[in-house]
Amino acid sequence: MNIGVLALQGDVREHLRALESSGASATPIRRPDELAPVDGLVVPGGESTVMSKLAITFELMEPIRKRIAAGMPVYGSCAGMIMLAATILDGRPDQESFGGIDMTVRRNAFGRQVESFEGPVDISDISGGPFDAVFIRAPWVERVSEDVQVMGRVTAGPAAGRIVAVRQGNLLATAFHPELTGDLRVHRYFVEMVRRTDDSD
């Protein structure tokens, strides 16, 4: 099982390490031909407007959209959540996404870099207690369709109740960065998603 990490921009190495530690082979993806062999894809945190432009420049936007439509499992963290959203608020007018999750996401919803924080998030389907979530210029989800499973919300503070983890079919997204914490539960959950998709093919 080989899982790619979109390596155009963002915290690529951290995701590669987390996937390897979770039992998967992990490969950086920068070109369309590198995308073809992978069984799943991680879209990392970073800057979503830059990631959108680079995906177009490197001719990855349409191939990734097609793989998503064909059922490839994808996990997006922070900027990756934005890239999987059907609708983006506070983005650039020309910003594009891969889409796939029927949700509306607001960029930088928690504030600027200096307002980054850590806080507990309970994630349904993932045991072991609250996740110590790292939010860095993070988005939140303002709308989901009935096809989207809300897996996690902020539990305390002024943003309490905001949606920060979702799943729709083979697509998973979090507003926070599990790759920065050493807690592998989200990556293991995604690896298992990919494994089950492989087994059903």
Domain that holds residue 166: 2-200
Catalytic residue among 14, 15, 78, 96: 78
Kindly state the average pLDDT of the residues 28-40: 96
Query: Which of 14, 96, 179, 187 is an active site residue?
Result: 179
pLDDT at res. 181: 86
Question: Which range, of 70-79, 80-89, 95-104, 115-124, averages the lowest pLDDT?
Answer: 115-124
Q: What is the pLDDT of residues 96-149, one digit of tens each?
A: 999 999 999 998 777 655 456 678 888 999 999 888 888 878 899 999 999 999
pLDDT in tens, 48-64: 999 999 999 999 999 99
Determine which one of 14, 96, 177, 187 is catalytic. 177
Q: Which residue has the higher pLDDT, 181 or 12?
A: 12
**pLDDT mean across residues, the chain:** 91
- Please give the residue that has the higher pLDDT: either 136 or 86: 86
DSSP string, the chain: -EEEEE-SSSSHHHHHHHHHHTT-EEEEE-SHHHHTT-SEEEE-SS-HHHHHHHHHHTT-HHHHHHHHHTT--EEEETHHHHHTEEEEES--TT------EEEEEETTTT-SGGG-EEEEEEETT--SS-EEEEESS--EEEEE-TTSEEEEEE-SSTTTT-EEEEEETTEEEESS-GGGTS--HHHHHHHHHHHHHHHH-
Q: How many domains does the chain have?
A: 1
Judge whether 179 counts as a catalytic residue: yes
187 is an active site residue: no
78 annotated active-site: yes
Domain harbouring 172, CATH code:
3.40.50.880
Tell whether the model's pLDDT for residue 85 goes beyond 70: yes
Higher pLDDT, 18 or 134: 18
